[in-house]
């Protein structure tokens, strides 16, 4: 939870303490951090550690980085990143701007700095209020040139932080992003392993991710009862999906490390800082932990600028493998280079990788350990792609269906008897309800909805039971006969007590399609979908339909939209759960546009842009009744700059087939 003590008085006490140190008092940041109010503010802890380190250097000391940082528990890695960057800054000041950092309370034009969120080697991150639009945004200021806005502006993904704008500001390279999370994976790993050899449950990770009421809520990715390893692999899978998506747009990250991954409440990973994507390499770019997570080919390019990195994805996969190893084991497979010389640190890291032979990850399941070993293969061509990594990890973190002993015995007997297992062809001249259902299913598979509907109607008449009636309702849904489909779904539930998730979902989806102007019907749809999600919490269709039902649920007498803001939780789960289409992107845009506050307006614009890229007509997007009154002139100009994609066939996510359950 966020501390309840206002930050300003605590920050003022810290500033007074720093002034006393500069006046001659012996600096001791670790003692100051004993104050629980200070300890609760990570940025203040980092400030104090940095100030002590600089003062001790100025006094002629040369503090050992490892011993110095070890005094600060779960923040030791972040502090080390800052101090390593400080040493580079003092050795190469020519590559950096010397503009003073802003303070909380400062106003730069239309931006008012309200909170200090974090800092790294050459960058600081603030929460600022854009007074021109009344929207809080995250502002990253960097002392070195950045291509992050250019890179991130080309992708849109639920696990990649959007870029609202990127420009030079007061001598800094500035990137504005929605406020999505406050904890980095670096902080989460350190907190998870604090005081234990290995966490047992993922609740440590969830607690470390924290909660901030200013951050938009998402459905939790993890369960507090989930095992730690299972939770880590679920998070890693989402991260791999984001990197695979970026790669499909021709973009590699170039600087993967735990400080460049945010962990939102509930465990959602969010990629940031594509700062080295497509950028040239040199030793001056080696900052804040980059060496520790760099691939052999990237380190070689740092040592010899004339040598290209090669395949950027393969290099990122290596870094991903190191991150996954650290999440699973609590440490990297290499010891950090104990030297203050940047080039020597790179050389030692390169030598360590050349001599490294991947071994099983201590305590990790064999499949996960094998994946890490594949990612850390020395030859770039021998590593998997991120698409392959994501597919491998997709099996983790979700409940697995059990294969019953009876089914296993039946399968074994069939094999021993030489029986060929094959899909039975539907009869040409069906007579029973089962045969009509089988032929109707075949018709559906070949796109013959009308013929399938006739067969399902006959099956329901021959055998008026719950499944047959609900299957008929499904076919009616596909034929856009929503009123009749709704009635048949209700019959299956109320008359035949068939309350399976697919039946409840399809009933609710037809209510939304036929009666979205009725708040009472929408409230009923939400209740049906709540029940369905209790039984099938990972269903994209159910989340989608509940998002739309909540969206339509609250309308007042003058027909003004007042959507239930929880619809954003569901649409976020949908966008994170699989393929994103033009129709889904447009739905996400109008839902975010309808709910005021926070980063919602920015997300609406980015999903609108994604809808255009995927083929929705630009004019239809800009003039959509749920968007046109929410878009600013700048938003419209931005949407006009998006390349118009080619329309493709969209998948209707609303319905769940009875043959898939």
Asked if residue 132 is part of any domain, the answer here is no
Domain match, 89 and 185 both? no
- Which residues, listed in sequence order, are joined to residue 271 by a DSSP beta bridge? 160, 261
Domain containing 334 equals: 151-162+178-393
Domain match, 466 and 554 both? yes
Inform me whether the pLDDT recorded for 93 exceeds 60: no
Distance between CA atoms of residues 612 and 593, nearest Å: 16
Domain match, 480 and 615 both? yes
Asked if residue 419 is part of any domain, the answer here is no
| Interval 423-470: pLDDT, tens | 445 566 788 888 889 999 988 888 888 888 989 988 888 888 889 999
Q: What share of the chain is helix, strand, coil (3-state, %, to 5)?
A: 50, 10, 40
Inform me whether the pLDDT recorded for 131 exceeds 80: no
Average pLDDT (520-546) is 89
Q: String of b and e for 69-108 (b: at least 16 CB within 10 Å)?
A: bebbebbbbbbbbbbbbbbbbeeeeeebbeeeebebeeee
Domain match, 366 and 438 both? no
pLDDT of residue 317: 94
Comparison of pLDDT for 290 and 491, the residue scoring more: 491
- How many CB atoms lie under 10 A from the CB of residue 618? 17
The pLDDT-based confidence of 160 (bands split at 50, 70, 90) is: confident
For 219, 281, 347, 617, the CA distances from 309, given in Å and listed in that order, are: 39, 8, 16, 39
Distance, CA of 552 to chain centre: 27
Domain match, 441 and 548 both? yes
pLDDT of residue 395: 66
Domain match, 201 and 90 both? no
Domain match, 251 and 303 both? yes
- Which residues, listed in sequence order, are joined to residue 139 by a DSSP beta bridge? 126, 176
Residues 565, 567, 570, 576: is their CA dihedral positive or negative?
A: negative
Q: Which residues contact 355 (CB under 8 A, 6 or more apart)?
A: none
**140 known ligand binder:** yes
If you average pLDDT over each of 274-278, 424-428, 582-586, 625-629, which comes out highest? 582-586
Inform me whether the pLDDT recorded for 493 exceeds 70: yes
Q: What is the mean pLDDT of the chain?
A: 79
Distance between CA atoms of residues 624 and 642, nearest Å: 17
The pLDDT-based confidence of 403 (bands split at 50, 70, 90) is: very low
Domain match, 544 and 479 both? yes
Asked if residue 337 is part of any domain, the answer here is yes
Tokens 């650290």: give the residue.
326
Distance between CA atoms of residues 489 and 597, nearest Å: 37
CA nearest neighbour of 294 among 345, 251, 222? 345
Tell me which of 95, 113, 129 is where a domain ends.
95
Asked if residue 539 is part of any domain, the answer here is yes
Retrieve residue 265's tokens: 């409440």
Retrieve residue 651's tokens: 């998948």
Inform me whether the pLDDT recorded for 406 exceeds 50: no
Q: Domain total for the chain?
A: 3
Domain match, 86 and 182 both? no
218 and 197 Cβ atoms separated by less than 8 Å: no
| Interval 41-52: pLDDT, tens | 777 788 888 888
Asked if residue 103 is part of any domain, the answer here is no
- Domain containing 261 — which CATH number? 1.10.510.10
Domain match, 198 and 299 both? yes
| Interval 494-515: pLDDT, tens | 888 888 999 999 999 999 988 7
pLDDT of residue 564: 61
pTM as predicted? 0.57
pLDDT of residue 474: 93
Comparison of pLDDT for 590 and 147, the residue scoring more: 590
Asked if residue 129 is part of any domain, the answer here is no
Asked if residue 120 is part of any domain, the answer here is no
Domain match, 366 and 515 both? no
pLDDT of residue 165: 76
- Domain containing 532 — which CATH number? 1.25.40.10
Asked if residue 470 is part of any domain, the answer here is yes
Distance between CA atoms of residues 642 and 609, nearest Å: 6
Domain match, 388 and 454 both? no
| Interval 346-369: pLDDT, tens | 888 888 888 888 788 887 888 888
């Amino acid at each position: 939870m966020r501390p309840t003590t206002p930050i300003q008085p605590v920050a003022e006490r810290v500033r007074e303490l720093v002034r006393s140190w500069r006046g001659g008092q012996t600096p001791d940041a670790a003692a100051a951090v004993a104050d629980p109010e200070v300890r609760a503010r990570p940025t203040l802890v980092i400030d104090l550690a940095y100030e002590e380190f600089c003062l001790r250097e100025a006094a002629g000391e040369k503090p050992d980085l490892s011993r110095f940082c070890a005094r600060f528990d779960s923040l030791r890695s972040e502090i080390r990143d800052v101090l390593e960057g400080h040493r580079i800054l003092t050795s190469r000041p020519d590559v950096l701007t010397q503009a003073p950092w802003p303070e909380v309370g400062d106003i730069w034009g239309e931006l008012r700095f309200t909170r200090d969120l974090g800092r790294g080697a050459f960058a600081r991150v603030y929460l600022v209020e854009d007074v021109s639009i009344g929207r809080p945004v995250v502002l990253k200021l960097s002392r070195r040139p950045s291509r992050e806005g250019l890179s991130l502006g080309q992708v849109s993904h639920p696990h990649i932080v959007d870029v609202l704008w990127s420009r030079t500001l007061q001598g800094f390279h500035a990137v504005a992003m929605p406020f999505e999370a406050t904890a980095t994976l670096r902080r989460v790993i350190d907190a998870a392993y604090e005081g234990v050899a290995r966490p047992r449950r993922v609740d440590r990770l969830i607690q470390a991710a924290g909660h901030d009421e200013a951050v938009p809520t998402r459905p939790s990715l993890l369960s507090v009862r989930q095992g730690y390893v299972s939770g880590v692999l679920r998070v890693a899978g989402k991260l791999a999906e984001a990197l695979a998506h970026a790669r499909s747009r021709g973009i590699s990250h170039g600087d993967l490390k735990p400080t460049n991954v945010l962990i939102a409440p509930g465990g959602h990973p969010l990629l940031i800082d594509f700062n080295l994507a497509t950028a040239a390499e040199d030793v001056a770019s080696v900052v804040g932990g980059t060496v520790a997570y760099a691939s052999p080919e990237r380190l070689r390019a740092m040592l010899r600028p004339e040598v290209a990195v090669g395949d950027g994805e393969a290099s990122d996969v290596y870094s991903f493998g190191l991150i996954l190893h650290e999440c699973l084991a609590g440490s990297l497979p290499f010891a950090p280079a104990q030297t203050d010389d940047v080039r020597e640190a790179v050389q030692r890291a390169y030598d360590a990788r050349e001599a490294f032979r991947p071994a099983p990850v201590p305590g990790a399941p064999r499949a996960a350990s094998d994946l890490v070993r594949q990612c850390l293969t020395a030859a770039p061509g021998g590593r998997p792609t991120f698409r392959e990594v994501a597919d491998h990890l997709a099996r983790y973190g979700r409940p697995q269906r059990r294969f019953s002993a009876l089914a296993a015995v039946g399968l074994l007997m069939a094999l021993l008897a030489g029986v060929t297992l094959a899909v039975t062809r539907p009869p040409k001249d069906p007579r029973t309800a089962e045969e009509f259902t089988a032929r109707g299913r075949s018709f559906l598979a070949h796109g013959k909805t009308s013929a399938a509907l006739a067969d399902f109607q006959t099956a329901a008449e021959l055998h008026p039971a719950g499944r047959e009636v609900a299957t008929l309702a499904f076919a009616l849904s596909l034929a856009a006969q929503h009123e009749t489909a709704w009635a048949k779904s209700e019959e299956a539930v109320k008359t035949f007590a068939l309350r399976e998730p697919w039946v409840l979902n399809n009933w609710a989806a037809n209510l939304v399609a036929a009666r979205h102007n009725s708040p009472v019907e929408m409230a009923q749809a939400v209740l049906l979908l709540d029940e369905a999600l209790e039984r099938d919490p990972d269903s994209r269709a159910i989340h989608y339909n509940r998002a739309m039902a909540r969206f339509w649920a609250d309308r007042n007498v003058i027909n003004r939209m007042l959507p239930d803001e929880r619809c954003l939780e569901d649409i976020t789960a949908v966008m994170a759960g699989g393929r994103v289409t033009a129709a889904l992107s447009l739905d996400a845009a109008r839902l975010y546009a309808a709910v005021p506050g926070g980063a919602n307006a920015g997300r609406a614009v980015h999903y609108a842009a994604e809808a255009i890229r995927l083929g929705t007509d630009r004019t239809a997007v800009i003039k959509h009744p749920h968007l046109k009154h929410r878009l600013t002139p700048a938003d419209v100009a931005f949407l006009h700059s998006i390349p118009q994609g080619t329309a493709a066939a969209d998948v209707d996510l609303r319905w769940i087939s009875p043959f898939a359950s």
